[in-house]
Amino acid sequence: MKTKKKLKLAIGLGSTCSGCDIAILDLGEKLLELIDIADIVFWPTAFDFKYSDLEKLKDKEIDITLYHGTIRTTEHEEIAHFFREKSKILIAFGSCSCFGGIPGLCNLTDKKKIFDAVYSKNLSTVNKKGIFPEEKMLIDKNKSITLPHLYNTGRSLKDLVEVDYFIPGCPPPMQLIEGLIPLMKDVLEDAQLPVRKTVFGSTKTLCDECPLKKENKMISKIVSLAFTAIDPDKCLLEQGILCMGPVTRGGCEARCINVLMPCRGCMGPVLEIEDQGVAMISAIASILGVKDEENLTDHQIEDLLSGIKDIIGTFYRFTLPDALLNKKIEERR
């Protein structure tokens, strides 16, 4: 009996919470369909494969690699280059590898400050000797063990290597992951593939598919989600709740909005938007405080905007490493 030709699928990871792995497992019965067309050759979270197994493979022998997680250490960098070499199609899977994601918020601080916070200045930590993790440690006279070097900043995958497709989302929505199966079948049959650099998901913003009623997007103040009674039929932004919908790619079928949580922007910006955060600054400024604005003093306008706490953390929650200003700048004051 002739064995069926199967794809080789690898799942590599960087700095990740492994939520993307769980999202793949969430395929449920479809997982059987996936395994039917693809052999998983590498998936550290689920199987016990070693990198040495992969090193035997020739260049471009893996058909599809899903890479999830931010590039944070030399190890992640190495893995990313390794999979680029070994695979025909490299897919950035999840917001972290697409635009930097939550771990990318590390760009607001640096390695030294993080180490200080974690290993000494933390209230519940006593570190009198000032012991910090070392990259290299001698265990014998000529034997040493090493740890990967931690970078000051986080990076997205496309900063480092060519990426063929992007599947955004934190984690990617189920319907996009299911879309992998037809893609794999196409690869298997040598059919026409989507244009390279395609971002899976809608080409329109989330507002386009949001089920809530939008009437007149004009608000007089920003309110906190925790202390507001939400009208379940009305647009959240119109109720004064910060929702990233206007600047975020659709394709998740408004999974957060459906349970009345505002969009946090995990699908990243649509193609027309270069920088998600400044686009949101622009959008929120346009709709805020539009009632008798000529009588507002400067102070009152500042007050209007004081409802927005932590601008970078809110507007760049998933995209800081891909932003135009993507890193803390040290300016002498």
Partner 1 sequence: MFEPNIIGFCCNWCAYAGADLAGINRNQYPPNIRMIRVMCSGTIDPLYVVKAFKEGADGVFIGGCHPGDCHYQSGNYKAQRRVILLKRAISELGLDPRRIRLEWVSAAEGQRFAKVITEFTEEIKKLGPNPLKLNGVKNED
For partner 1, the closer CB: 8 or 249: 249
The CA distance from 73 to 149, in Å, is 5
Binding status of residue 312 toward partner 1 by CB under 8 A: yes
Candidates 70, 153, 205, 319; binder of partner 1 (CB under 8 A) is 153
Candidates 72, 76, 155, 264; binder of partner 1 (CB under 8 A) is 155
Stretch that binds partner 1, among 138-146, 174-182, 220-228, 286-294 (CB under 8 A): 286-294
The CA distance from 162 to 184, in Å, is 19
For partner 1, the closer CB: 170 or 247: 247
The CA distance from 135 to 148, in Å, is 6
Least distance from C-beta 38 to partner 1, angstroms? 33
Stretch that binds partner 1, among 172-180, 186-194, 254-262, 269-277 (CB under 8 A): 269-277
Candidates 277, 317, 318, 319; binder of partner 1 (CB under 8 A) is 277
316 close to 99: Cβ distance less than 8 angstroms? no
Binding status of residue 269 toward partner 1 by CB under 8 A: no
Least distance from C-beta 191 to partner 1, angstroms? 37
Structure token digits, residue 137: 């440690």
For partner 1, the closer CB: 138 or 301: 301
The CA distance from 136 to 132, in Å, is 12
For partner 1, the closer CB: 21 or 77: 77
For partner 1, the closer CB: 172 or 245: 245
Of residues 192 through 221, those in contact with partner 1 by CB under 8 A are none
The CA distance from 246 to 113, in Å, is 34
146 close to 243: Cβ distance less than 8 angstroms? no
Least distance from C-beta 316 to partner 1, angstroms? 9
Residues 206, 211, 215, 217, Cα dihedral to 10°: -30
Candidates 151, 165, 200, 318; binder of partner 1 (CB under 8 A) is 151
Binding status of residue 147 toward partner 1 by CB under 8 A: no
Binding status of residue 282 toward partner 1 by CB under 8 A: yes
Q: Which residues bind partner 1 (CB under 8 A)?
A: 108, 151-153, 155, 159, 274-275, 277-279, 281-282, 284-286, 288-290, 293-294, 301-302, 304-305, 308, 310-312, 315, 321, 324-333
